[in-house]
């Protein structure tokens, strides 16, 4: 069935992030990743009930933590199992922009075996972001062989 984007601009899958200080998170994502605000619904006490940002051609929704409804962010959960993958034109500049806005580097940018320049940051709200740009084509066979060497390397986690 064809999509009618005139009624709903969202993609098939849209991340919905929960965190403490979600209004601040929206401002951080504007600075760090060039997000533009689509909408923001704030409760009378100043908490973000629902927000939506656009980054490139994709959307990210946000909401404040509400422990009474079991809506907790990564800081309250002592970490996250999710990384948001962001395709950028310049990984190093993108990571520096995120760091300048308050993110911490968790994996420095490097040219990796699957053909991407790739690095990771953690934002001040506990969400992990990977920044990537394809720098070369790699066949599946090459990738599988390189992955074996990468896993066998004692410093692979530091790459």
pLDDT at 12: 80
The whole-number average pLDDT for the span 51-69 is: 95
Q: What angle do CA 28, 91, 156 make, to 5 degrees?
A: 110
CB atoms under 10 Å from CB of 147, counted, come to 13
Asked whether residue 11 carries a pLDDT value surpassing 90, the answer given is: no
CB atoms under 10 Å from CB of 45, counted, come to 6
Asked whether residue 159 carries a pLDDT value surpassing 70, the answer given is: no
CATH class of this structure's domain 16-158: alpha beta
Query: Is the model more confident about 105 or about 144?
Result: 105
**Model confidence pLDDT, tens digit, residues 93-123:** 999 999 999 999 999 999 999 999 999 999 9
Contacts of 90 (CB under 8 A, 6+ apart): 133
pTM of the model: 0.84
């Amino acid at each position: 069935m064809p999509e009618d984007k005139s009624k709903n601009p969202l993609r098939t899958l849209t991340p919905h992030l929960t965190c403490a200080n979600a209004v601040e998170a929206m401002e951080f994502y504007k600075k760090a990743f060039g997000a533009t605000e689509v909408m923001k619904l704030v409760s009378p006490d100043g908490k973000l009930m629902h927000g939506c940002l656009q980054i490139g051609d994709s959307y990210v929704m946000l909401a404040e933590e509400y422990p009474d409804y079991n809506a907790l962010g990564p800081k309250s959960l002592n970490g996250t199992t999710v990384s948001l993958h962001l395709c950028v034109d310049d990984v190093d500049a993108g990571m520096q922009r995120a760091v300048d806005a308050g993110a911490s580097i968790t994996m420095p940018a490097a040219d990796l075996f699957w053909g991407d320049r790739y690095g990771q940051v953690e934002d001040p709200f506990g969400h992990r972001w990977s920044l990537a740009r394809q720098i070369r084509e790699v066949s599946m066979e090459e990738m599988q062989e390189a992955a074996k060497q990468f896993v066998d390397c004692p410093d692979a986690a530091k790459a």
